[in-house]
Amino acid sequence: MIRLYNTKTRSKVDFESLTRGKVGMYVCGPTVYNYIHIGNARTFMSFDIVRRYLLWRGFDVTFVQNVTDVDDKIINKANEEGRSASEVAAEYTEAFIADMRAAGVMDPDIRPKATEEIPEMIELIEELIESGHAYAVEGDVYFNVRSYAAYGELSGRNVDEMESGHRELRADGAGLEDRKRDPLDFAVWKAAKPGEPSWASPWGEGRPGWHIECSAMSRKYLGLPFDIHGGGADLVFPHHENERAQSEAACGCTFANYWMHGGMLQVNSEKMSKSLGNFKLLRDVLETVDADTLRFLMLQTHYRSPLDFSDERLAEAGAALGRIRNAVKNLDWLVENAADAPSPLDLRALMERTREAKMAFILAMDDDFNTCKALGAVFDFIAEVNAQTAGKTISLSDVPPVRDARELIVGLMGVFGIEVATAGDADTAGADYPAEVVALAADIAGFDGSDAALAVGALLDARADARASKDWARADAVRDGLGALGFVIEDTPQGARVAFEG
């Protein structure tokens, strides 16, 4: 049974989808006025992993993520740059999609844009007015917060305390307080201003408020109620609180059964901000590190906990990921070099540990998608497999269980959207090797090529020749040179093999 932390109840609860075997998920997407930063990316990667795990567990998942392509920030950006809001939104929508794909995030099943769903928003606003939960004032429409008795339940706030002690939680627009019946009421429709995009409505030309967009789009594409609503912790209030209020006020039903929110991201233990000079765009980070390493870093912290991002932690993540890839390469090597000889392995123990490792992974992920604990299960399994196979040549009869162990490692990491099976791929072999290994091979082995993987092979051949001729100085020079670059040589009955540990 999957258990997840429900923000509304502030507790872990059993997850039961509305329809057996199916899950409807809505995760709030970006407001497209700039490139996304790594804090945004963490949220989207977290829910990508939740989605991938649910799919792996056999659920038919419908994943909806909107694009907010009309908003004050977009309009301000357009005015600054002397172009239309639609041009700004189009540019950054395309950039967002490209960045998500570069980060290994799956495309949503449905990606509605706010500007293409205006009729649905107007329909929802009309329902709110008719039921007494919203009112029109001079072209604006406001949601009547006090008409919805459960307002504040999601975020754990008290309406009266908001009014008396949290004036910052009142309306966004300056000078509009006197137009509202209550300072806490929020806009679901904004009257048009000169030069801004607008649409015809029963209340005159205008555009939707931010909160109404997701209510209308989730209702249209998933129906109400749906299973999981997700986003960053910064969206709990006011965005998700307001979404829930207007949606449930209109339909008289539950909006979403489970609310999930991801933790924030810091850079070097400080809040990320432009003023501190530590503001990092996702696309800039991906120019310095591969997506798998970035995803691995994200996995090492539970999705609800704050994540500290740093170059040091990225390097550690890369090294840890390298150990997993080396383990897979070692198993591939064992299978390829299996001999017609008695088995040196405890096959019963290996097969049992393979079953146990998969179950440990499932139990960790079933416990509120605990990726850090699930990674621990993978590393524990790799350590035990390595202990059984190190320095051995496996029998042909060992190949099926060893291959099963290898496939489990690859499959579990695939649940996280991380590829670890690079062995034997001519296009990727040696891709992570340092360029200095080519120069080392040229110096010691007379290598005249430029391919790092071939350079390593040349060095191993040179070492084998040196050992055969008892030229220990040259053999040691190969070993020490490769070791200084992060390579580890293991001698086996079939010859030397090398692992790069960075």
Kind of pairing, strands 140-143 and 134-137? Answer: antiparallel
In this prediction, residue 177 carries a pLDDT of 57
Does the CA dihedral 463-468-472-473 come out positive or negative? negative
CA atoms within 13 A on the CB side of 200: 0
Cα–Cα distance for residue pair 187/207, rounded to 1 Å:
10
φ, ψ of residue 136 in degrees (nearest 5): -100, 140
In this prediction, residue 245 carries a pLDDT of 98
In this prediction, residue 430 carries a pLDDT of 63
Tokens of 327: 């383990």
| C-beta of residue 247 within 8 angstroms of C-beta of residue 151 | no
In this prediction, residue 191 carries a pLDDT of 96
Count Cβ atoms below 10 Å from residue 240 Cβ, excluding itself: 26
| C-beta of residue 228 within 8 angstroms of C-beta of residue 256 | yes
Picking from 425, 396, 421, 422, the residue whose alpha carbon sits closest to that of residue 410 is 421
CA atoms within 13 A on the CB side of 400: 4
In this prediction, residue 238 carries a pLDDT of 94
In this prediction, residue 270 carries a pLDDT of 83
456 SS3 class: helix
The predicted-structure confidence for 269-306, as pLDDT tens digits, reads as follows 888 877 677 789 999 999 999 999 999 999 999 999 99
In this prediction, residue 498 carries a pLDDT of 82
| C-beta of residue 421 within 8 angstroms of C-beta of residue 328 | yes
Cα–Cα distance for residue pair 386/490, rounded to 1 Å:
13
In this prediction, residue 418 carries a pLDDT of 97
| C-beta of residue 134 within 8 angstroms of C-beta of residue 180 | no
| C-beta of residue 26 within 8 angstroms of C-beta of residue 256 | yes
In this prediction, residue 162 carries a pLDDT of 81
The predicted-structure confidence for 235-254, as pLDDT tens digits, reads as follows 999 999 999 999 999 999 99
In this prediction, residue 201 carries a pLDDT of 98
First to last CA, the chain: 39
Is-cis flag, bond preceding 493, omega within 30? no
In the chain, pLDDT over 70 holds for what percent of residues?
A: 94
Q: Give the residue ranges of DSSP H helices in 286-428.
A: 291-299, 311-336, 347-366, 371-389, 399-415
In this prediction, residue 390 carries a pLDDT of 87
Q: Is the pTM of this model over 0.75?
A: yes
Low-confidence stretches of the chain (pLDDT < 50) are: 164-174, 423-427
In this prediction, residue 493 carries a pLDDT of 57
